[in-house]
């Protein structure tokens, strides 16, 4: 999935701004001061550049802990769950001490084959009890109605009713699970997490962070990572007929590593996360002969309308002996762009006037993986 030229220029525009922002007293080489317009200076002020050091790591760790969702105990109450019978379900009915009313089990037949199917009008018919409403009723309600009807011909009937064929209600588990398909709703409550387990769990290509849950015309994002990592059971759902659970691919969970590295490209962010050191390692590391070890940058798009910042740019001084320790603690986020320069920062000033106008296209960075 290649980056478009337009988007790559946008990325370089952000990175090129570090040349005049980080280096004290720097200026645009080869450009007269009169050409350094007010708009250019205003755009530079909208880029937040920080050095990756122990203070930044501690700050981000505290922010991560503060943002960690509380383990919610407000989960599903399944104690009162009762299955509602539907059209197509198959019931078995037995009456104690009245074998003439109970279909004997055959060696070549199943209970479902010999059972009573709920008809299109929602009823079942039993001896001495025709057209009993069943669809939308619980097993207890159908049993009570049978007892009421049979009491006219049998003294104190003891009736047993079971659903042996769950045919009326289905849920759909799609996407990146090992066994996608249709799963029935039964008398055992089926939750979203249960359904994912029944489907064999998520594949290696799945997005482990979120799944989409659709009921009718409403779709919501379930934070699967909050459930597994933080015990937030409020993310679980009790599934009903027609519900769709879709697990996306992790295509959007990528980090782009560009510049003077041995193998530029994208690195997939797995369920355990990815730090800066791992991203550089997966890209073969820096080209030792040409890369500027002090020019390792992480570009992270920001919501300019909310923060007033176009992008956050983090710089790692990789020549520092503690750099790799810091890189291991700097957690990357989906769609981060790691860029390694191959020249001293001051030389970036020569091209900044050409690259900076494309800063307006930085908003398209979120769509890089969609093309």
Which CATH number belongs to the domain containing residue 20 in this structure? 3.10.560.10
Q: CATH number for the domain including 114?
A: 3.30.1950.10
How many angstroms separate the Cα of 338 from the Cα of each of 11, 316, 332, 366?
10, 10, 9, 15
Q: Which two tokens stand for residue 178?
A: 């090992």
- Domain end: 127, 147, 165, which one? 165
Assess if residue 79 is contained within a domain.
Answer: no
Q: Tell me, yes or no, whether 363 and 289 share the same domain.
A: yes
Q: Tell me, yes or no, whether 259 and 348 share the same domain.
A: yes
CA–CA gap between residue 341 and residue 32 (Å, rounded): 25
Assess if residue 185 is contained within a domain.
Answer: yes
Q: Tell me, yes or no, whether 100 and 151 share the same domain.
A: yes
Assess if residue 75 is contained within a domain.
Answer: no
Assess if residue 40 is contained within a domain.
Answer: yes
Q: Tell me, yes or no, whether 263 and 360 share the same domain.
A: yes
Most confident by average pLDDT, 257-266, 315-324, 340-349: 257-266
**Is 0.75 surpassed by the pTM of this model?**
no
Residues forming beta bridges with residue 223, ordered by sequence position: 210
Q: Tell me, yes or no, whether 270 and 286 share the same domain.
A: yes
Q: Tell me, yes or no, whether 244 and 260 share the same domain.
A: no
Assess if residue 82 is contained within a domain.
Answer: no
- Angle among Cα 113, 121, 131 to the nearest 5 degrees reads 75
Q: Tell me, yes or no, whether 293 and 275 share the same domain.
A: yes
Strand, helix or coil for residue 253: coil
Beta strands at 123-126 and 129-133: parallel, antiparallel or unpaired: antiparallel
- pLDDT score of 368: 44
Q: Tell me, yes or no, whether 366 and 292 share the same domain.
A: yes
Assess if residue 218 is contained within a domain.
Answer: yes
- Domain end: 250, 282, 298, which one? 250
pLDDT tens string 66-99: 766 555 555 688 888 999 999 999 999 989 888 8
Q: Tell me, yes or no, whether 244 and 275 share the same domain.
A: no
- State which residues form the domain around 64: 5-68+253-370
Residue 34 pLDDT > 80: no
pLDDT tens string 283-304: 999 888 888 888 888 888 877 7
Number of domains, the chain: 3
């Amino acid at each position: 999935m290649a980056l478009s030229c337009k988007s790559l220029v946008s990325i370089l525009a952000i990175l090129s701004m570090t040349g005049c922002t980080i280096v004290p007293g720097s200026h645009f080489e080869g450009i007269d001061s009169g050409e350094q317009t007010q708009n250019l200076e205003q755009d530079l002020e909208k880029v937040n550049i920080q050095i990756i050091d122990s203070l930044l790591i501690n700050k981000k760790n505290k922010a991560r802990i503060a943002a960690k969702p509380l383990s919610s105990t407000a989960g599903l109450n399944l104690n009162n769950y009762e299955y509602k019978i539907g059209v197509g379900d198959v019931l078995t009915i037995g009456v104690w001490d009245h074998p003439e009313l109970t279909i004997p089990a055959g060696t070549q037949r199943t209970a479902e084959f010999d059972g009573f199917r709920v008809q299109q009008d929602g009823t079942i018919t039993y001896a001495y009890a025709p057209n009993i409403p069943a669809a939308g009723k619980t097993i207890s309600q159908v049993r009570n109605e049978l007892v009421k009807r049979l009491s006219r011909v049998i003294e104190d009937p003891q009736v047993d009713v079971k659903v042996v064929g769950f045919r009326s209600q289905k849920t759909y588990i799609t996407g990146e699970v090992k066994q996608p398909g249709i799963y029935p709703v039964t008398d055992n409550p089926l939750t979203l997490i249960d359904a994912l387990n029944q489907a064999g769990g998520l594949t290696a290509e799945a997005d482990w962070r979120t799944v989409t849950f659709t009921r009718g015309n409403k779709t919501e994002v379930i934070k699967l990572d909050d459930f597994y990592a933080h015990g937030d059971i409020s993310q679980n759902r009790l599934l009903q007929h027609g519900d769709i659970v879709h697990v996306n691919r992790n295509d959007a969970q990528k980090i782009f590593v560009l510049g003077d590295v041995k193998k530029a490209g994208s690195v997939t962010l797995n369920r355990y996360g990815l730090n800066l050191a791992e991203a550089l390692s997966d890209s073969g590391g820096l080209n030792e002969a040409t890369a500027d070890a002090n020019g390792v940058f992480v570009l992270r798009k920001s919501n300019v309308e909310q923060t007033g910042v176009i992008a956050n740019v983090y710089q790692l001084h990789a020549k520092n002996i503690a750099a790799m320790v810091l890189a291991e603690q700097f957690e990357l986020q989906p769609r981060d762009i790691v860029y390694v320069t191959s020249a001293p920062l001051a030389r970036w000033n020569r091209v900044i006037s050409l690259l900076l106008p494309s800063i307006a296209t930085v908003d398209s960075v979120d769509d890089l993986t969609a093309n």
